[in-house]
Structure 1
Amino acid sequence: MKKLFLCISICLSFAFSASLDEGLGRYEAQNYTQAATIFYDLCQQNNNAKACFFLGFMYESAQGVDKDDARAKSYYEKACQLKQASACFNLALLLDKYGQNKQADLSFYQACVLGHKDSCVNLGLRYEAQEDGSLALDFFQRACKLKDAAACFKQGLLYEDGILVRQNIQLASRAFTSSCELNYAPACYALGKIALEKKNQADAKKYFGKACDLTHLNSCEEYKKLNAQPNVMMN
């Protein structure tokens, strides 16, 4: 009996996956009306988060259905409750569009917690604009851990500037290093400048060289200057 129940569960799971794949196939083929019907059934009957998300996006974008932001919002909300990070993010953008900023912040936060790095960055930028350095730093750190190079760089700038948070060049350097390792040229340039201030020409040349390879023009100029100096030595 247990084996029969297990077999039925596996078969149902396979059928469910096939139905979602079919909907995605219709969507990719731009058969939007058919896709919307499949997504509707999956969302309503099976609480499939991805189907609810796509249905919300289709109502927001008028793909196979009439544009309806209210319906889009309701499907995004359902998908977000089902822990679909992209739905929480799109919901936040939609709430922002209608000036519902506090609710948008909550949706961005839900998406951020679910690992949506753009949502973490958005919150960091919002709190930075509000001059709340502690919260801005927190969300830039979250995004940095999710491998967002620009967020790591923003984290470094907050520590380097020392305006909204206490200045800490060591922590700034760590954040810039994380960003530079993700091939973000401005961070490599920042590390080069810090190395120059410490009179460590070898490190400066290394970081300027990497940033130059990433087409950062100011770094190329700095690299040329260092390269013209004979016997570059490490401290």
Structure 2
Amino acid sequence: MKLKSFLFICVFSLITLCTSYAQEKGQAELKNGNLSSSKELWTEAFTWYEKAANKGNAEAMYHLAYMFENGQGRDQDYAQAINWYKKAIQNNYSYALIALGIIYQNNDLYEEAKNCYQLAAQKGIADGMELLGFLNLTKQNYSDAILWFKKAADKGNKEAMYQIGLLYQEGLDLNADEEEAKKWFKKAADKGHEEAKAKL
């Protein structure tokens, strides 16, 4: 009985060690990819990201998708970009929702884009909230736009703060209010938003 317990512990420890080793390998390759990318060695970066992604590294999947989307290290391929963004999402890399949503939006697939942004917003990602604001703005749903911009602004998103300022300045679905606009422009400017600084 003791021998069985000992063997179980040994096997369990070996599996844990192998899993940990695989994760570390994925991390090492991701770091190599990031290093190559910082030097704009796109082909080399692509190779490292692909190796890490194939080992299940979600961040590498995201970078691989971005490279396919922008034609870095490989020919531009939106189908592959979408495929890898989806894999990153399945592996809980939530920021891939934003990138995938932007691809959909740029191809006039507004419902798909909206779904991505909403999922990102549900995960507390301010960029998802901001992009929902923009999506509603393009559809002239001003009340929904300001609602999402305010949620993003509450999380410190400077672009959302600036957009709220514009909405107050222009009086879109709000009473035009220069003081309120100025307040929001100042918040955005304090965070380094250049256009908000110019508005002030």
Q: Same fold (TM over 0.5)?
A: yes
Pair 62,73 (structure 1): closer, same or farther in 2 beyond 3 Å: same
What does residue 31 of structure 2 align with? 21
Q: Which has the larger radius of gyration?
A: 1
Question: Equivalent of 1:35, from 23, 41, 45?
Answer: 45
Query: TM-score, normalised to structure 1's length?
Result: 0.62
Letter in 2 for 1:49: A
Q: Which whole-Å CA distance do the structure 2 matches of 1:66 and 1:161 have between them? A: 43
Letter in 1 for 2:45: A
Pair 82,26 (structure 1): closer, same or farther in 2 beyond 3 Å: same
Question: Equivalent of 1:44, from 49, 54, 57?
Answer: 54
Letter in 2 for 1:21: K
1:179-203 Cα shifts (integer Å, max 9, x gaps): 454355876xxxxxxxxxxxxxxxx
Aligned-residue RMSD, C-alpha = 3.6
What does residue 53 of structure 1 align with? 62
Residue pair 2:29, 2:51 contacting (<8 A) in 1 also: no
Pair 41,127 (structure 1): closer, same or farther in 2 beyond 3 Å: same
1:107-145 Cα shifts (integer Å, max 9, x gaps): 233334445444432321221232323321221012212
Pair 5,172 (structure 1): closer, same or farther in 2 beyond 3 Å: farther
Residue 69 of structure 2 corresponds to residue 63 of structure 1 = no
Matches within 5 A, 1:142-157: 142-157=151-166
Pair 184,16 (structure 1): closer, same or farther in 2 beyond 3 Å: closer
Cα deviation, residue 67, structure 1 = 2.0
Q: Which runs of 5+ in 1 are unaligned?
A: 188-213, 220-235
Equivalenced residues, count: 190
Residue pair 1:57, 1:72 contacting (<8 A) in 2 also: yes
Query: TM-score, normalised to structure 2's length?
Result: 0.71
Larger relative contact order (C-alpha < 8 A, sep ≥ 6)? 2
Letter in 2 for 1:44: N
Q: Which whole-Å CA distance do the structure 2 matches of 1:93 and 1:184 have between them? A: 22
1:57-91 Cα shifts (integer Å, max 9, x gaps): 22122222222111111111221333334422221
Residue 97 of structure 2 corresponds to residue 88 of structure 1 = yes
Pair 158,31 (structure 1): closer, same or farther in 2 beyond 3 Å: closer
Letter in 2 for 1:154: Q
Pair 185,37 (structure 1): closer, same or farther in 2 beyond 3 Å: closer
What does residue 97 of structure 1 align with? 106
